[in-house]
Structure 1
């Protein structure tokens, strides 16, 4: 049996690369991959077999796309009529087998993914999403359109996030969760429908958050979820009773700007 040898420039002979594509240094492109027009691939990227990079996609440095990924395809939205929109991906991302990312709806709009993301197999990021840095999406996790995911959030396998929801920083969503409202920063939620079960204490400790700040966030959790206060009254109580810190200010800012309401605890 004859073997197929990768050319010295790292581009497999069966790969299809549009002349307008901009390919950085030390990029590897595997068998039958397609890199379409008006795309940009940063230095050190690995484009696996049968990966498709669609038009108007810009990818940073040192990203790895495993076999079968589709990045920057047109959105699954009937409002889309062929307008020029974009997919922007940062540095150091790992996109496992068959994950999909769609470009935005609306002229000039973007679907944007930050640095050092891990998208496991069959995950999906829909049109107009904004995904922060160091986010982990486990197998088959799905974001609907216009979802915002802040830095260091973890989204469990087979979970689904409703359109226009926001997932806060360092939040953790358990597997098979159905998320239809905003998940505040630093919280753990799970279930169908999803409910908040507590503070993501282990995750915050691993992220290096000082004990004092974690302690204040535990107090914030009790005010927000155990006091029975309406959201605005809970925010006012936290402002009056808790020590200010960067994480606390971030939590308060998130809560002041919720539009779909926040995920609550399980009753009973």
Structure 2
């Protein structure tokens, strides 16, 4: 059985491997899928329809928007925020207070520095001012 703190709120139709660990005061939406060895620390908030790959750590007070996909071996450090419809590749690290806006794609192996907002290169060229 997965290790889930009794104070955690888990939505409907959530699928997770037995090796998953969910800490206290965590909120998880409906229709989420978590791989093997996923750790979700206290007070994290995960939206509906989020998929999290194997060996991923979601630290405390992280917010992940609905319909986002997180790859394998990802570390999202505390107080980071991920928008809706985001795709995060494998082996990605988001440092403390990092922000990924809605519908962004974070490529494999990316490091998003502390207190920064991730923007994919394609979006930088799209500004019509």
* TM class, shorter-length: over 0.9
The separation in 1 between residues aligned to 2:54 and 2:68, in whole angstroms, is 15
Q: Which residue is equivalent to 2:55?
A: 68
Q: Which residue is equivalent to 2:109?
A: 140
Deviations 1:123-163 (A, max 9, x none): 011111121011111111001100013xxx43xxxxxxxxx
Q: Which residue is equivalent to 1:131?
A: 100
Equivalent of 1:35 in 14, 22, 38: 22
The question of whether the paired residues in 2 share the 8 Å contact of 1:99 and 1:121 is answered with: yes
Deviations 1:153-176 (A, max 9, x none): 43xxxxxxxxxxxxxxxx33xxxx
Tell me by how many angstroms 1:31 deviates: 2.2
Provide the TM-score with structure 2 as the length reference. 0.92
Q: Do residues 88 (structure 1) and 88 (structure 2) align?
A: no
Q: Which residue is equivalent to 2:124?
A: 186
Q: Which of structure 1's runs of 4+ aligned residues deviate more than 4 A?
A: none
The separation in 2 between residues aligned to 1:101 and 1:56, in whole angstroms, is 13
In the alignment of these two chains, the number of paired residues is: 129
The separation in 1 between residues aligned to 2:53 and 2:81, in whole angstroms, is 19
**Root-mean-square deviation (Å):** 1.5
Greater strand share, 1 or 2? Answer: 2
Provide the TM-score with structure 1 as the length reference. 0.46
The higher-RCO structure (CA 8 Å, 6+ apart) is 2
The question of whether the paired residues in 2 share the 8 Å contact of 1:31 and 1:48 is answered with: no
Q: Which residue is equivalent to 1:57?
A: 44
User: Which ranges of structure 1 fall in alignment gaps of 5 or more residues?
Assistant: 1-12, 74-85, 105-110, 155-170, 173-184, 188-203, 205-216, 218-246, 249-268
Q: Secondary structure at the match of 2:59?
A: strand
Equivalent of 1:102 in 77, 95, 101: 77
The separation in 1 between residues aligned to 2:124 and 2:111, in whole angstroms, is 20
Deviations 1:193-227 (A, max 9, x none): xxxxxxxxxxx5xxxxxxxxxxxx6xxxxxxxxxx
The separation in 1 between residues aligned to 2:64 and 2:105, in whole angstroms, is 15
